[in-house]
Each structure stands twice: as structure tokens, then as C-alpha cells.
Amino acid sequence: QTLTLAGPDNVMKLNFNSSFKAMALVSLAALLASPVSAQSKKREAQVLGLAGNVTYSAGGGGSFTPAYIGTKLREGDVIKTGGASHADIDLGDNVGVVQVAAHSTFVVKTLTTTDTGAERVTETDLDLKEGAVFFNVNKLAKASRFEITTPKGIAGIRGTSGSMTADG
């Protein structure tokens, strides 16, 4: 079908079939050209192993309960280890593993992942209040951030193994 539009200065004929196809192509191109907003999502850490007296407080505001292998840890959770104790924690999304040493208090501050399409960007902030922690952090995307805060300062860690103590 053809539609003829007459204006004061021109006459235009439109073919509905080709006009519909052209509008569909323009709409598709606009959709593909628009930036995709990446959504940040929370991730969980998980206790892989433990020995001795290991407790945690969900959200850091309640009482401490015994941790066990498989315990899920989320932002705000606090982990405490007693004497001759430790906890091995997988930080999720192939970020790495930390071991919380004996006589330590450790807070999971931030655990997020953002899939940008080109790469997976992770943000990990851990707070070592007292004691020591050992870490094995995998190579992360360039925009990722992995930090351990202590009372003495903040360490940014990139794809390495090591240890930190709260007293520096």
C-alpha cells in the first residue's frame, strides 16, 4: 500500500512496507548503540575450612555463633578466631582465598561483582581489626579493587599471596 502526503511545497509517497522496515532498523540501531548499564551485585564468601574455635556474627550486630564448613559470609559479617584456631574463606567469583589466623577479628566490608560485558569487575574490602590474615588473591580485572584495612593503614592487593597483621 502507498500513502500520498501532500503539503504546501511537496508531495511525498510512502510505501508502508519499506517504511516499517526502515523504522525497525533505526530502532534496532538505537538500541544497540545505547550503553548497557552494568548492575553491581553482592556476592558471598564461604568458609572452606576451619580448626579450633571460629565464630561469626551475621551483620556484625548480633551475638556470635559457631562457624562451620560451608558457612556463607556476607557484607558486614564479623569472624573471630580463638587460640590455636583459623578459618579458610573463599571470597567468591574466583577472587581468592584468605585464612584468618588465631586470635583474630576480621570484618567482611564489601563483596561485589559487576559484569561489564567485557570483563568481570570485583570489589573486595576486608577489615582486619586484630590478629593476622594470610591471602592468595588471583589476578583480577584491571578495574577491580581488593583492599585490606588495618588499624595502621590500608593495603591494595593485586594478584599475589602474602600476609598482614593488624599491628603493622
Percent of the chain with pLDDT over 70: 77
Alpha carbon distance 139, 159 (integer Å) = 4
Residues 6 or more apart in contact with residue 110 via CB below 8 angstroms: 75, 123, 124, 125
Q: Report the sign of the C-alpha dihedral through residues 64, 85, 154, 151, in that order.
A: positive
Mode of pairing for the β-strands spanning 145-150 and 120-130:
parallel
User: Is the model more confident about 141 or about 15?
Assistant: 141
86 compared with 26, residue with greater pLDDT: 86
Rounded mean pLDDT of 29-45? Answer: 68
Confidence of residue 10 (pLDDT cuts 50, 70, 90): low
Please give the Cα distance from 147 to 167 (Å, whole number).
16
Q: What is the pLDDT of residues 73-128, one digit of tens each?
A: 999 999 999 999 999 999 999 999 999 999 999 999 999 999 998 999 999 999 99
**What pLDDT shows up at residue 104?**
98
Q: Which residues have C-beta within 8 Å of that of residue 146, sequence separation ≥ 6?
A: 95, 96, 122, 124, 137, 140, 156, 157, 158
Of the chain, the percentage scoring pLDDT greater than 90 comes to: 71
**What is the grid cell recorded at 40?**
553491581
pTM of the model: 0.76
Point out which residues pair with 3 in neighbouring strands: 14
